[in-house]
Amino acid sequence: MTIPMHYSRRIISVSVIGGALLLAPRVFAAYTVEAVTNGGIIEGVVKLNAAAPPVAPIEVTKNQDYCGQSIRNPEYEVGKGGGLQNVEVYLKDIAKGKALNTSTISLVNEHCMFIPRVQGANVGQQIKISSNDPMLHSTHPQNASTNATIYNIALPFKGFSVTKPLPAFPELIKVKCDAHGWMHAWIWELDHPYFATTGEDGHFTIKDVPPGTYTLVAWHEAAGENSTSVTVIAGKTVTADIQLKVTKTP
Ligand SMILES: [Cu+2]
């Protein structure tokens, strides 16, 4: 599949609300692909500003024979050094740089949860949705802001899979399973490839960044967002640790 070098700046979106026809311009920043020969690296660790609040296990209300009575809640995954997993870290408003990702991303229904819980992706990529469980799941991605359904895939048996294109424009996608209300995943679909998801130790690395000053954003499903300014120098590694606020009190 070919990836366009940049995207249309202005799309007119038409919606009908309460019978009124609204014309609202939706503006998307363009991203231009160009060779990066002198890029730098941004790396860091995302941590919480306080101890993660205790989270009750997920109560299983359906298919207990397979899923069990409860499932550990992965809302806050804090590693040994205090790093927070499943944080999407990305550059905001980067105008040009390396080519977009084109591989097919994966979302697996496994033991009554989605794997991975959080991932980044690019416009133009495909997603393989599959199930490793012997009962019915659905995979229902929605725009996280509007709840507009992107598609809704039924996965009736173990080994079933469907590969679909991601939406044509960048958006935060929230995925749910209509059969199991506790199943959630998030996909940060961006129009540039400068993103990373923190691992078990809360660490992230973003490579081949053209020299310049950028806003680096960290997003977490429960702790929300924070950002920092980061200046990348050719051939160097810059450290940019980010702290997120615990929003729930124990
Ligand atoms: Cu399910």
Give the pLDDT confidence score for residue 8 in this predicted structure. Answer: 39
Give the pLDDT confidence score for residue 2 in this predicted structure. Answer: 40
Report the C-alpha gap between 121 and 41 in whole angstroms: 19
pLDDT at 15 over 90: no
Give the pLDDT confidence score for residue 30 in this predicted structure. Answer: 86
Between the CA of 159 and the centroid of ligand 1 the distance, in Å, is 14
Tell me the three state secondary structure of residue 81.
coil
Report the C-alpha gap between 112 and 137 in whole angstroms: 8
Instruction: Give residue 242's Cα distance to chain centre.
Output: 17
Least confident among 28-37, 100-109, 111-120, 139-148:
28-37
Between the CA of 12 and the centroid of ligand 1 the distance, in Å, is 36
Residues with CB in 5 Å of ion ligand 1: 137, 177, 179-180, 183
pTM above 0.75?
Answer: yes
Between the CA of 136 and the centroid of ligand 1 the distance, in Å, is 7
Between the CA of 37 and the centroid of ligand 1 the distance, in Å, is 44
Quickly state the pLDDT bin for 19 (edges 50, 70, 90). Answer: very low
The phi and psi torsions of 232 (rounded to 5 degrees) equal: -100, 130
CA angle 184-186-189, nearest 5°? 155
Give the pLDDT confidence score for residue 5 in this predicted structure. Answer: 42
Between the CA of 104 and the centroid of ligand 1 the distance, in Å, is 22
Report the C-alpha gap between 248 and 76 in whole angstroms: 11
The whole-number average pLDDT for the span 87-103 is 96
